[in-house]
Structure 1
Amino acid sequence: MAARGRRQFKPQPGFQAQQDQKEGVHASILKQARKSGQLNLSGRSLTSIPDKVWRINIDVPEEGKTVSMDDADDRWWEQTDLTKLILASNWLTELSEDIVNLPALTVLDVHDNRLESLPKAVGTLQNLQKLDVSRNKLTELPECVGQIKSLKSLHVEYNKLRQMPADIGDLLFLEDLDMSNNELTSLPGSMGGLSKIIKLNVSNNKLKSLPGELATMNALRQIDANHNEISSLPPELGTLLHLEQLYLRHNKLTHLPVLKDCSSLKELHLGNNQMTDITAEHIQHLPAISVLDLRDNKIGMLPDEIAQLQSLERLDVTNNDLAGLPYHLGTVASLKSIVVDGNPMRSIRRDIIMRGTQEIKKYLRSRIEEPLDMPAASTNGVQSNKGQSGVIGGTSDGVNAHDVMQMKSLDYSNKKCNQVPDEVWKLAERGEITSINLSKNCFTDLPQGIMLVSDYLKELNLGFNKLTSLHSDIGLYFKLTTVDLRNNQLTDLPSEMSSLESFPSILFSNFRLTKLPAVPVYIKPKLEILFANLITKIETIDPQGMKQLASLATLDLQNNNIGQVPPELGLCKQIKSLQLSGNAFRIPRPAILAKGTNATLEFLRSRIAE
């Protein structure tokens, strides 16, 4: 009878497995959680959380009812309180108030579910430091969240929040707050009490302004307010001493307040607004700026003082009303990228612009009047010293090591070579080079050794070579933003380029193509500039493919064999600069093209019904 009784007490293994599967949580997982204090139940298609999870710190586990006191491995009474609970990527519609039984939680992650509300008991979790409820269906954030005094990170992005509770300002230890991709129309002034906030993301909402109380958030280093409806900024924004990155793209700004005390600001993104000027006073208070994004505005002139920004690395003024650039901008040694397409440039020829940043800088320097009393021997002396001690790679084809390291740029163009010396690549690797110019050489593919800088490379110029194919390794250059492939013998591009997610610019001309390559062009929503002029066999335009390029602002298809311009191209309203001259089509007529991009697109739209 005793033996039969024991068989009845312990369920068969098959039955136990089915029961655990039904509840979605295996007993062994809970057992491990009692030891580690961490429980990860993400991606299990759970519609509800079993009660035994909420009572993991209270109930005696089944194995504890039969375990020997001498078994050191199963001393459940010595368990660790649960500190980390991950319930992400399930189908949860609610959380139980029984979460109050887990007071030791420091991390609660329920992102990517279907939650429409949060239990009030969340406010009792006084040890909680990280709360992630992003990608749910929350329409409001309960006031109980403001009671979690130890909270350092709060993520509520991708919900349906229309406002934030006033007591959000009570979270005095909060460092990271992400409210992006909601339906917020304003921010509570109480947020000014968040004096330890380092990173604030309010992008993709419906904000009309930012509160002046942001000025008291002294620890702020990054503000992302992209894609809102902000028409003005509070002047107090200029008092943020530690601010390093400010994102304000795709708003309705017409004016920027002078950021008087933002001496630490490194990146300022003002693209896609309605600004008409940037003044000398703005510039003089931005000594540390390295990225200045002014694209898609209405700026008519840049102040000469912009040449004083000795840390400036990237300047984007695409699609403005600039007729020229300050000549002394060419002397800024740190400047690695100037993007100026889509401007009515009269002082700089288009062929110079097409050659890229270094040629633009060279041209600007050539326009500066040299002082008459400059001793010629001084210049020769410097060059002589470089030749003696700084040249790497030989006397005729070498590069100056000092210049390469300082500029983070390698210019190995016009050498008529098909390989680069190993010592030059090693120098580029040590200097973490971000820009390489290999144009006007004899390369037939990516040169060996370039992989040494794949982790840093942002700009690559392979124009005017003899490329017949492009190695698939190009897909490993994840930081690459601009590639120049003009005047080669390529017939296609490798599919691996689809991994380059941050491509804003690609230049390819004199290809032997009859249509634009589908990869990477039509799968790049971030592509902003596309030069495909002088592709002598291009015959058709795919308007549907162009429409998928939501960020495409510049499209140059000049001097091809395009026989017909599809009217549907007029629906691509994101295009600000469209160049179609030098093709075989008769409609639109040259008189229409001469009126500019807006007139051409409007004409094409008018022909859709016909």
Structure 2
Amino acid sequence: MSRLKGVAGRDPRAGFRAERRDWGASVPQGLLKAARKSGQLNLSGRNLSEGKIQGYDPIVRPGRKHLPHCVWRINVDIPEEANQNLSFSATERWWEQTDLTKLIISNNKLQSLTDDLRLLPALTVLDIHDNQLTSLPSAIRELENLQKLNVSHNKLKILPEEITNLRNLKGLYLQHNELTCIPRGFEQLSNLEDLDLSNNRLTTVPASFASLSSLLQLNLSSNQLKSLPAEISGMKRLKHLDCNSNLLETIPSELASMESLELLYLRRNKLRFLPEFPSCKLLKELHVGENQIEVLGAGHLKHLNSILVLDLRDNKLKSVPDEITLLQSLERLDLSNNDISSLPCSLGELHLKFLALEGNPLRTIRREIINKGTQEVLKYLRSKIKDDGPSQSDSVTETAMTLPSESRVNVHAIITLKILDYSDKQTTLIPDEVFDAVKSNIITSVNFSKNQLCEIPKRIVELKEMVSDVNLSFNKLSFISLELCMLQKLTFLDLRNNFLNSLPEEMVSLIRLQTINLSFNRFKILPEILYRIPTLETILISNNQVGSLDPQKMKTMENLITLDLQNNDLLQIPPELGNCVNLRTLLLDGNPFRVPRAAILMKGTAAILEYLRDRIPT
């Protein structure tokens, strides 16, 4: 009642209307009204900075940037429409409101949160990322129902101990702050499943972290950690551990006993030795690139039964052991920028979809073969294997098992290597007998390179349920047919050296595509459809006429690691490209731009991105 009297006592010609105008400019009344019904309020990106509302919020100190008082009191105060004596229908009675459970106030300019936070005890989601917060109020302890708290991209230097009272918290996102330590009692967050502490200033991880028994994902990347506690192995459910970009010199051997671990990221550290992983039977990805590892031995490989991705780039490896063949599930192997002079021929027996070898002093395999891509390298290595050759039953001679019409088709490759190979024939059409030879066999790779094809064979669609690797390079293709777009298991596509200048919209259905090679074609822009394939990790589009790209759309490609734009027509490199921080390899040589200069390009991708970021207009 006192609040209503206050409203009535103001000058109806000035004060009341001024209050509504200021309030509405900051938090629209319609949003508040809708939030009382839905229990959700989204104030993201509304430039909220000044909390002071004339005549309404005397508690807020002028000049201090925090949230308007009305937001915290949304379920406490009588709404403005009630003060105006409006009539309410049965469905709009303000007193029948829903408690606010989700509050999003991200991307504003807030400098602090008040203790009025306690007035929203029903909150399950609080998202405050991308503000200017330097601290959190102690009243946060009263949000006992909170399940997700996002305070990333702020200026937090310390966390209040009261945060350990949030026992129902499942997701806690603290990346990109200025934290130097973790508060005592953090292990009490026993329901926490996802914890992101990346891009802070942490120097140690408390041993008590082991008590976070529900944790599934832990991101500690881009800190200043020199070691990990052995107790970390107590996280029995942990699947994803990211320790990229730290100062780690060793990894505790206990890490190898984490049975649930699936993804392990240790890039950009100071590791000299790689641990063995006898208990990590589920490990699918191991990223140890950009370290100082000198030896890869059989002991490192024999337990990695489920490994799909092995990243060893930018280390000091001198050799690859023959036991690499133990990794029968391996799909991606990155050995680039090491000191490897020869490869074991047994490597050719793996069913790799991507093999990176650039930057090694290889002497046993010609550069022209390496430049032809993964499948050509594997094919070359297989040809060097010293054995007795295929058994009589596998031979491609004309027998009762091999029809005369199939004699030109490599049936051995179909049966044993799962490859449909009809390359280097200089043919304009792929004969039906090639597809007929597949019969009931499983085919994972197709190689029709080095022919004179003007269109993609329509019968390739018959392989849509199994093929993952297609090589159509060195042909005369000027368009991509819809049949290719139906290969939904496709992960690797080689279209080098054709006459392409566009890609069809239908390629958006290639929901597993990871690598595409479009080098030596006729593209004038980066094809728009590529931005819409989120699984892409590698785009090779060198030696075209590309004159522009969209850095904002490229930033959304979170999996993109390699982008080769060499020898194109780029007159300038947009500074915003520097925000694509996931890029590990960005190649720009041979373009007519003036900056970045060659001295910057020679320093590598990280230096290029940093240079570009520094030139983004503020």
Q: 1:413 offset after TM fit, Å?
A: 2.3
What letter matches 2:376 in structure 1? Answer: E
In structure 1, the partner of 2:484 is 450
Alignment match, 1:19: 19
Cα separation, 2, equivalents of 1:227 and 1:280: 27
Point out where structure 2 has 5 or more consecutive residues left out of the alignment: 1-6, 52-66, 422-429, 606-618
- Contact (CA 8 Å) 1:84, 1:105: kept in 2 or not? yes
Deviation at 1:203, TM superposition (A): 1.0
CA–CA distance in structure 2, aligned partners of residues 573 and 382 of structure 1 = 60
Q: Which amino acid is the alignment partner of residue 494 of structure 2?
A: N
Structure 2 counterpart SS, 1:398: helix
User: 1:394 Cα deviation (Å)?
Assistant: 5.1
Post-superposition Cα deviations, 1:459-494, rounded to whole Å, max 9, x if no partner, equal 3322343x1634475996787654434555x37444
Q: Which amino acid is the alignment partner of residue 227 of structure 1?
A: S
Contact 1:493 1:519 in 2 (8 A): yes
Report the Cα distance in structure 1 between the residues aligned to 2:495 and 2:115, rounded to whole angstroms.
62
- What amino acid does structure 1 have at the position aligned with 2:22? K
Name 1:344's counterpart in structure 2: 361
Instruction: Give the deviation of 1:458 after TM superposition.
Output: 4.3
Q: Which amino acid is the alignment partner of residue 603 of structure 2?
A: Q
- Residue 142 of structure 1: how far off its partner (Å): 0.9
Are 1:292 and 2:310 an aligned pair?
yes
2:388 maps to what in 1? 371
**Contact residue 502 and residue 527 of structure 2 kept, 8 A:** no
What is the aligned partner in structure 2 of residue 584 from structure 1? none
Q: CA deviation at 1:449?
A: 3.6
Identity value in percent: 37
Alignment of 1:290-369 (within 5 A): 290-333=308-351, 335-369=352-386
The aligned residue for residue 178 of structure 2 is 160
Query: How many Å separate the matches in 1 of 2:503 and 2:14?
Result: 53
Structure 2 partner of 1:588 = none
Query: What secondary structure, in the 3-state scheme, does the structure 1 residue paired with 2:185 have?
Result: helix
Does residue 132 of structure 2 align to residue 114 of structure 1? yes
Where in structure 2 are the equivalents of 1:75-224 lying within 5 Å? Answer: 75-224=93-242
Instruction: Give the AA of the match of 1:398.
Output: F
- Secondary structure of the 2:126 match is strand
Q: Cα offset for 1:414?
A: 3.5
Count of matched residue positions in the alignment of Structure 1 and Structure 2? 551
Equivalent residues in 2 for 1:501-512, closer than 5 Å? 504=538, 506=540, 508=542
Q: Report the Cα offset of residue 344 of structure 1.
A: 0.8
> CA offsets per residue over residues 439-460 of structure 1, 9 Å max, x none?
232212334443334x765433
- The code of the aligned residue for 1:260 comes to P
Q: Which residue pairs with 1:41 in the alignment?
A: 43
Structure 1 stretch displaced more, 322-331 or 547-556? 547-556
Q: Give the AA of the match of 2:42.
A: N
How far does the alpha carbon of each residue in 1:299-329 deviate from its partner, in whole angstroms, 9 at most, with x for none? 0111111112111001110011111222122
The C-alpha deviation readout for 1:251-270, integer Å capped at 9, x for no partner, is: 11111111111110000011
Residue 527 of structure 1 deviates from its aligned partner by: 6.5
CA–CA separation in structure 2 for the residues paired with 1:248 and 1:90: 34
What is the CA–CA distance in structure 1 between the aligned matches of 2:265 and 2:505, rounded to whole Å?
A: 32
| Code of the aligned partner of 1:19 | E
Alignment partner, residue 608 of structure 1:
none
TM-score for the superposition, normalised by structure 2: 0.77
Q: TM-score, normalised by structure 1?
A: 0.78
In structure 1, what is the Cα distance between the partners aligned to 2:218 and 2:350? 32
What RMSD in Å do the two structures reach over aligned CA positions?
4.3
- Equivalent position to 1:419, from 435, 447, 455: 455
Q: Kindly tell me: are residues 86 and 341 of structure 1, through their superposed partners in 2, closer, same or farther at Cα, counting changes over 3 Å? A: same
Relative to structure 1, the CA distance from residue 401 to residue 191 in structure 2 (aligned partners, 3 Å threshold; closer, same or farther) is farther
Task: For residue 118 of structure 2, give the secondary structure of its aligned residue in structure 1.
Answer: helix
Residues 144-164 of structure 1 show CA distances to partners (whole Å, capped at 9, x for unaligned) of 111111111000111111111
User: Would the aligned equivalents of 1:471 and 1:494 in 2 still touch at CA under 8 Å?
Assistant: no
Distance in 2 separating the partners of 1:363 and 1:46 = 62
2:526, 2:548 within 8 Å by CA — same for their partners in 1? no
- CA positional deviation for 1:76: 2.9
Cα distance change, pair 415–16 in 1 and its aligned pair in 2 (3 A)? farther
Q: Distance in 2 between matches of 1:556 and 1:26?
A: 47
The superposition leaves residues 58-89 of structure 1 with CA deviations (integer Å, 9 ceiling, x where unpaired) of 22334446879994223333322211111111
Q: In the superposition, relative to structure 1, how do residues 337 and 13 fare at CA in structure 2: closer, same or farther (>3 Å)?
A: farther
CA distance in 2, matches of 1:542, 1:107: 42
Secondary structure of 1:85 counterpart: strand
1:441 correspondence with 2:475 = yes
Q: Is the 8 A contact 1:266 1:288 kept in 2?
A: yes
In the alignment, is the contact (CA less than 8 A) between 1:419 and 1:448 conserved in 2?
no
